A and B are shown apart, each in its own frame.
Chain A
């Protein structure tokens, strides 16, 4: 009997094999998991436990590559280190001078905002995180970082690198978190063109070097080399960080919408370290998990800065 059961052959007068029943139960269990997981954050405990359980394995995968990097650091020549040190010193000097100017500009900005009765700028805090060399899913653009809820990382948190916006946290465990990159084909980020404050949404393509703007009408004022900044709409990403540069504008007379390609500034496929950003959100409901798109009318042109602000003054 036991033999019959395990080999999946039905015993006489038995309508269902034990194997089928087992499969049914396990399938139902996994479907239940999927449904509960799909409906937001109900499975945090299980997810946290699982991600902690697999973290040592992920570190194991990461270790040979990081060891190789450490090795090359150890054997870097004295000369090369001196040269690098001198370069970094020079860069730090110029940055310090720029920062001085920035500080005075910020003070001036605060004063002007106070004059206009505008809301004070939001303050931000950043921390570094290391990207682990672990492949998560070759079809999707995401990376694993070595910080989690232990370091106050939260789901939906914005992630930057020294060049621009990288993405947002999609899953967070106690000691690690997954970051979905701008270039993932299911990710969108609200942006505006710095030249004319035209607001739109940049969507990933699955290629780490390309984003697209899918919702611009044919008449929209967009040119090659336009710089895109995060617009801060939706409350996930802080406003004003560089996202990418327009590299191609394709105007097809037969199509109502433009085809615009954008090259992201962040080096999405070569990240070593990323910056996690905390910023005080302006009083608004907590951000939804996906980067929300603005209202259906994507090509809304922002009013000129001056006019909206002066409305508040007497």
Chain B
């Protein structure tokens, strides 16, 4: 993952759509708490590997779509997606050179920051969710990252 890949935008849309559907799939309550933020992970991956195609506008659109799905406050996810995508985009050359474990830690930090932004916006808008379950997707998302990375990288390499 050390160079820009040419990624057709249709593939980006397909992946994001799949991630969005996965995030809306009904699960038993105990599993639903563990669900990683699939769409954000997809956005991070494309911002890292194909920053030109999967850039900030894409992150904004994906976040807005998620807002439309969850519908609490319009723009909440759009904002946090743009912030995260900007950070990834800004440092993608460095992050690509990181060893695998280091990269996973970076993703952990990004996911944590993302949840923190949401937590903060929820608090400001008067809908705070203070349960510890809110921070679980950070961990599960981090654990899911190597899988997503290897699957998408392999898929790209084959093309």
Residues in chain A within 8 A of chain B (CB atoms): 6-8, 17, 19-20, 22-23, 26-27, 29-34, 37-38, 43, 46-47, 50-51, 53-54, 57-58, 60-61, 65, 133-140, 170-171, 178, 185-186, 206, 208, 269
Contact = CB atoms under 8 A, between A and B. Distances in A.
A237 to B, nearest CB: 20
Nearest to A31: B79
A17 B70 CA distance: 33
What DSSP secondary structure best describes chain B's contact surface? helix
Chain B: interface residue count, which band? 35 or more
B82 A206 contact: no
A235 to B, nearest CB: 21
A170 B72 CA distance: 9
16 contacts: A8-B91, A8-B92, A17-B90, A23-B83, A26-B57, A30-B64, A30-B76, A30-B79, A33-B75, A34-B76, A38-B73, A43-B74, A54-B65, A136-B24, A138-B32, A138-B33
Interface of B: 17, 20-21, 23-27, 29, 32-33, 35, 51-52, 55-57, 59-60, 63-65, 67-76, 78-79, 82-83, 85-86, 89-93, 121, 125-129, 131, 133-134
Nearest to A172: B71
B74 A6 contact: no
A271 B71 CA distance: 20
A269 B56 CA distance: 37
A6 B55 CA distance: 9
Given A61-B24, A138-B33, A185-B129, A30 B71 contact: no
A20 B85 CA distance: 11
A178 B71 contact: yes
Given A31-B75, A139-B133, 8 more contacts: A7-B92, A23-B82, A23-B89, A27-B83, A32-B75, A57-B20, A61-B26, A136-B71
B72 A34 contact: no
B121 A6 contact: no
Nearest to A177: B71
Contacts of B55: 22
Contacts of B85: 23
Given A38-B73, A43-B74, A135-B27, A50 B60 contact: no
B131 A27 contact: no
B25 A61 contact: yes
